[in-house]
Structure 1
Amino acid sequence: MSEEQAINAVVHLYVDGMAFANEAALRKAFHPNASIVGNQGGAAEWLTRDDFIAAILKEGSAPPETQPVMDVEMIHITGDAASVKVVDEFAGSRYTDYLSLLKIEGRWLIVNKVWHIHS
């Protein structure tokens, strides 16, 4: 598997984890110390991985037949660091997410997510 394929697999885990409230997938995609940051209601919102997962679980799963929206617009890789721009949907809203990934002990993990919600 190429590095780009491995990164795409992590992005799929992330998007499917959000869409279907899959805690195990989200924990596998994100580093335990990851930050999730965006503007919510006019104020910056900073979440830990666990707070983010709790918010996803509270929202609940999309119906099982749902095909999650995931458009990976860009992947840049430099050694053991990568940046991904992905457009996805969650809870009826469209987002652009900028994901920073780091290869740790042979596995790519999301260490930071900065998001923008489209109005």
Structure 2
Amino acid sequence: MSEEQAISAVVHLYVDGMAFANEAALRKAFHPNASIVGNYDDAVEWLTRDAFIATILKEGSAPPETQPLMDVEMIHITGDAASVKVVDEFAGSRYTDYLSLLKVDGRWLIVNKVWHVHS
């Protein structure tokens, strides 16, 4: 598997984890110390991985027949660091996410997510 394919697999885990409230997938995709940051209701929302997962679980799963939107617009890789721009949907809203990934012990993990919700 190429590095790009391995990163794409992590992005799939992330998007599916959000869409279907899959805690195990989200924990596998994100580093334990990851930050999830964006503007929500005119204030900066800065979440830990665990707080982010709790928010996803509270929202609940999309219907099982749902095909989650996942449009990976960019993957840049430099050594053991990568950046991904992905457009996805969650809870009826469309987002653009900028994901920073780091290769840790041979596995790509999301260490930071900065997001924008489209109105």
Q: TM-score, normalised by structure 2?
A: 1.00
Which ranges in structure 2 are unaligned for 5 or more consecutive residues?
A: none
Whole-angstrom distance in 2 between the partners of 1:44 and 1:21: 23
* Structure-1 separation of matches of 2:45 and 2:71: 24
The CA deviation at 1:76 is: 0.2
Runs of 4 or more consecutive aligned structure 1 residues displaced over 2 Å after TM superposition: none
- For residues 78-114 of structure 1, what are the alpha-carbon distances to aligned partners after superposition, in whole Å with 9 as ceiling and x for unaligned? 0000000000000000000000000000000000000
Distance in 2 between the 1:18 and 1:102 partners? Answer: 20
**1:44 Cα offset (Å):** 0.4
Indicate the SS of the match to 1:56: helix
Residue 71 of structure 1, CA deviation: 0.1
Identity of aligned residues (%): 91
Aligned to 1:108, the other structure's residue is in SS state: strand
Q: C-alpha distance in 2, partners of 1:61/1:104?
A: 29
Number of residue-to-residue matches in the alignment: 119
Q: Provide the secondary structure at the position in 2 that maps to 1:10.
A: helix
TM-score, with normalisation over the residues of structure 1? 1.00
Find the counterpart in structure 2 of residue 117 from structure 1.
Answer: 117
CA distance in 2, matches of 1:69, 1:75: 17
Instruction: Please list the CA deviations of residues 28-47 of structure 1 after superposition, one character each: whole Å capped at 9, or x if unmatched.
Output: 00000000000000010000
Rounded to whole Å, the distance in 1 between the matches of 2:116 and 2:67 is: 21
Counterpart-to-counterpart distance in 2, 1:63 and 1:46? 28
Two-structure CA RMSD over aligned residues (Å): 0.1
